[in-house]
Structure formats: structure tokens, C-alpha cells
Homo-oligomer: A and B are copies of this chain.
Amino acid sequence: MTSLEKALESADRNLEPAVERLFELLRIQSISTDPSFAPECRKAAEWLADDLISLGFEASVRDTPGHPMVVAHHKAADEQAPHVLFYGHYDVQPVDPISLWESDPFTPQIKTLANGQKVITGRGTSDDKGQLMTFVEACRAYKDAHGALPCAVTLLFEGEEESGSPSLKPFLEAYAEELKADFALVCDTNMWDAETPAISAGLRGLVGEEIVITGADRDLHSGYFGGAAANPVHILARIIAGLHDADGRVTLPGFYDGVTETPDAIKAMWDTLGQTSETFLGEVGLSIPSGEKNRSVLELTWARPTAEVNGIWGGYTGEGFKTVIAAEASAKISFRLVGDQDPGKIRDAFRTYVKSQIPADCSVTFHEHGGSPAIQLPYDSALLNKAKDALSQEWPKPAVMIGMGGSIPIVGDFQKMLGMESLLVGFGLADDRIHSPNEKYAYQSFQKGIRSWIRILDAISH
């Protein structure tokens, strides 16, 4: 029996007590956004620290202005082995509307769904207590089999992820030296499907802008002034209409600087995933891709940059009709970035374009709403490929490397503040109903998730 096999055997043998431990954590009502649950949040942090101490970590609960963090360290048997930081969060979403839960959100149960899937039900099962415990149990199994871990492990568990992580950045700054590792493992993501594990190799960046276009110094009567006075809504509409050309490309000069083409091999892999415009968009009642021509929906959402209006308003928006020419029209506009696109340059190009569209007697003001570059692990990185092979050995189908259209702020923070890349692996499923009533985590996600981490820890340590 190899050292890996021994650890996997230990995990299987101890699955029942592992589930019991997860249930203990799930019973703690650690809702971070509601101050009346603050004691429960602390209780969850203390439970985790105690559990980690019991398996040989040096662990402590660290106070913050909000809910506490848990930080734990464990040395590797071999001092040359890499050092990883694992991140997860112990806080959960509120449970309203409680009446829609089929069983109590804080009384976890094992159930078999109508489709035959065996699941663990309860708030936080998938987001994120179930996921983070796969890693803790993987460490326990490895130690049980070998009395040691194959690499140095630092754990960081946050208690404010569901309420905007207000304490996270100051904490990373204050404990940068202590938290820094060779790379981070972030377990807050999904599998491709129940048989196919996934590694997120890219996360799109984001630039947010709010613009306010001002015309007259008051709202005007469209009868008295219509046809002569500038209408800020028209100006705004022209600006938005001009952001894309007929091929769906963003027209800002220099917008595609730093955008790299996804390797053909990766695009070919994505094409095998069986996701078409009809299946991807069909989920939300659409069918026709609306962005750049001649690219798959997965490429469009994972690996191509975008410009999207997220909100627009101006003039009279109530019941009935009011023939007004608004003094102001506003929009919130965001750009999703990929590759090496520079958020600052894109913001500048956007503002220059907008200003060029404003008549001399009108004006525009800009409000910045954040900006972060894309994150892209090289598809040929050793870390990525070791994790891919490890996952492929555990699951029925080979692991796929995917992109993520959205951003996970912690990944950007790790990169910016601690200089660490993140490996994003998780075992959630799209139908886990996170943030909703009847949240669940597949029993197999927990079981094979533990085994997956054992394989990954083993693979990356040599």
C-alpha cells in the first residue's frame, strides 16, 4: 500500500465520524450578517480551532473588529516540501424564508433526493462548511496514516465572507508574514458536474464606473423645450449604443490590449463539455449569444472581456406618464477583464470616450466603483497540472480546467497583498441551492472531496 493509499484508506474508514464532526459544525448558527448571531460565529471559530488543535495544528481564534478569524499552522515532515495556505469561511447566509425549508436549516440530515442523489442538508453544507471540512478531514486522514503532513499547511477561516469581508484586508495586511505561503488553496467553487471535477484557472477582472450626464439645470417640460434642449437620456443612449460594434466587440481604443487568446487545446477541452448556446442560455430563457461573434458561450463568459450596463435611470420612472426632459441621466457600467488588461487604462479609455460624446453645454461626472485585473494561472503550470491529475484519478471523469466569469475577491487579495497565486478547487454542484432554502451538499462531494484533497496534497508535495 502506498503512502497515498494508506491515507485514502484512513479517510474511508473514518468517514462516519467525519460526517459527525461536520454535523457539529453545521449545528452552530453562524449567520454573520445578523449581529444577534455573533456569539454563534465565535462558537464556530472556537469549534474549528479546538478541532484543529486536536489533530496537531497550532491553532487560535484571532479577534477582528467583526467576527473572529481562525488561523492554524502545521509543519511538513519534509522541510523542503511546499507550504500551502488553505482558505475557507465558517459563516453562513441567513435562512429566511424559514417556511420554505423542508427540515430545520441547523439540524443537518442525510437524505436521498428524488433523483437518487444522497445529500447532506442544512445551511452551510455547501457554502462553505462542508467544503472547508473536506480539507480538514483530508489533513486528519493523512496524519492518521503517517503521523505527519506531506506539506506545510496554514489554514485561514474567515467569519465574514457572507457579509462583505470587512475585516479581511486589514487582517491580511497585519498578518502578511505569518500567512504568506507558496500558494493558496481556495475551496469555494463548484465541480463542472457531479462526475467531473474542475479547477478554475482564470477569473475575470472588473472595472466599475458610474456616470451622470447633466443637461439643463432642472427637469424641463418636453412640450416647451422638446426639440431644442439637450436630452441627457439620448446622450447616454448614444454612448451605450456606441460601446459595441456590429460584431459585439467593445469599441474603446486599446480595449483589447493585453487580451490573449485561450490556447486551442483548452478551447477544444471546453468544446467537449457539451455546453452549447442553447443549453447555457436556455437555463435563463435565452438562446442566442449576444457578445463577440464566432466564440462559444464558455469562451465568451470565461475568457473574453465585456462591457455591460448594470443599471440605467433618468427622467420619470413612476406610474403613468410625465412629459419631462430630465436634467440628468445615469448609468452603472462594468467591464470584465481578462489576461493582462489594465483596469486603469480601460477606465481612462472609457472616460475619454464618454467625454467625447458630451455636447459642449452638457457635462458628465464619473464615480469609480472598484477595479481589479484578471487572474490567470498559466495553463501549463506544474501546480495546475498536478492538481488536475490528482483529481482525475479520484473522479469518474477527468478534471477540466475552466474559467470563471465573475471574481472572487480573496483571490485578488492573496495575489496583491501576499504575492500568492490561488488554486481554486471545490466540490459544490450547481444545484446546491446556496443562499437559498434547502441548501445541500452531495454526500459524494464530501466523501470524494476529502479523498481529492489527500491526492492533491500528496501530488503537490513532490
Residues of A within 8 A of B (CB): 204, 206, 208, 210, 215-218, 220-231, 233-234, 236-244, 277, 280-281, 284-292, 297, 300-301, 304-306, 308-317, 320-326, 329-332, 334, 336, 359-362, 369-370, 404-407
Contacts and interface: CB of A to CB of B under 8 A. Distances in A.
Contact of A312 (B310, B312, B361, B406): B312
Nearest to A204: B223
Contacts of A370: 321
A228 B317 contact: no
A241 B369 CA distance: 26
B361 A288 contact: yes
A216 B281 CA distance: 8
Count the copies. Answer: 2
A315 B309 contact: yes
A226 B336 contact: yes
Contacts of A239: 237
26 contacts: A216-B285, A221-B406, A222-B336, A227-B305, A228-B277, A228-B280, A228-B281, A228-B289, A228-B300, A233-B240, A234-B309, A237-B241, A288-B359, A290-B359, A308-B323, A309-B315, A310-B315, A310-B322, A310-B325, A310-B326, A311-B314, A311-B316, A311-B324, A311-B326, A313-B313, A317-B330
A405 to B, nearest CB: 4
Contacts of A331: 233
A7 to B, nearest CB: 35
A290 B244 CA distance: 24
A372 to B, nearest CB: 12
A228 B222 CA distance: 37
A234 B240 contact: yes
A243 B226 CA distance: 14
Contacts of A334: 222, 226, 321, 323
A28 to B, nearest CB: 29
Contacts of A326: 310-311
A150 to B, nearest CB: 34
A405 B227 contact: yes
B361 A405 contact: no
Most buried by B among A218, A281, A305: A281
B310 A227 contact: no
A317 B309 CA distance: 11
Given A284-B218, A290-B230, A334-B323, A301 B224 contact: yes
Contact of A222 (B281, B308, B315): B308
Given A225-B301, A237-B240, A288 B360 contact: yes
Contacts of A314: 309, 311-313
